[in-house]
Amino acid sequence: MFCVGEELIMIRSAKNDEAKILTKISFESKRYWNYPKEYFEIWNNELTISSDYINKNNVFVFELECSVVGYYSIVELPEDIEISDIRIRKGYWLEHMFIEPLHIGKGIGSKMFHHLRNWCATAEINELGILADPNSKGFYEKMGCQYVKEFPSTIKNRTTPYLIFKALNRYHHF
């Protein structure tokens, strides 16, 4: 792809060698909300993206003028898991959706969610769980996700909104 002139936008599968930039976007996006430094020590593993993570999951990047400025990932849990006395049920989950702070509020999240919606329909994923950052709850509700309840966070005395996105099956068989 040749990138000069008009604004070029693309959403595509992440490449193995993009793990470092995705990790950078994860941390910068979380820092946008001015969380205390101690939170990042707890979040270090979950915000760090590896090549192995990209290979094992469905990770998509948002490119703007040939630069990756956002990404999202969908993971499949083959069985229920328990984390910090919280049971997370098997199925598909939106694990990450992050945008570089410079680009927050410019419609990129909506474009990524539209892509996610279409991808889920094509992959015949009817339901997607989301444990969202409290600051992003309104965004997910605006995208059509249903708020279910608060889950305890990995941060003491903090909760995380649990939402569900129910994909509409676009393919009708008669």
Note whether residue 158 is domain-resident. yes
What is the domain-level CATH number for residue 140? 3.40.630.30
| Whole-angstrom distance, CA of residue 120 vs CA of residue 166 | 9
Note whether residue 29 is domain-resident. yes
Q: What is the pLDDT of residues 98-155, one digit of tens each?
A: 999 999 999 999 999 999 999 999 999 999 999 999 999 999 999 999 999 998 888 8
- pTM exceeds 0.85: yes
Report the number of distinct structural domains present in the chain: 1
Note whether residue 73 is domain-resident. yes
Residues whose CB is less than 8 angstroms from the CB of residue 173 and which lie 6 or more positions away in sequence, other chains included: none
Q: What is the pLDDT of residues 61-111, one digit of tens each?
A: 999 988 999 999 999 988 877 766 667 788 999 999 999 999 999 999 999
User: Nearest 5 degrees, angle CA 93-CA 149-CA 58?
Assistant: 10
* Domain interval for residue 134: 9-166
The type of residue at 85 is D
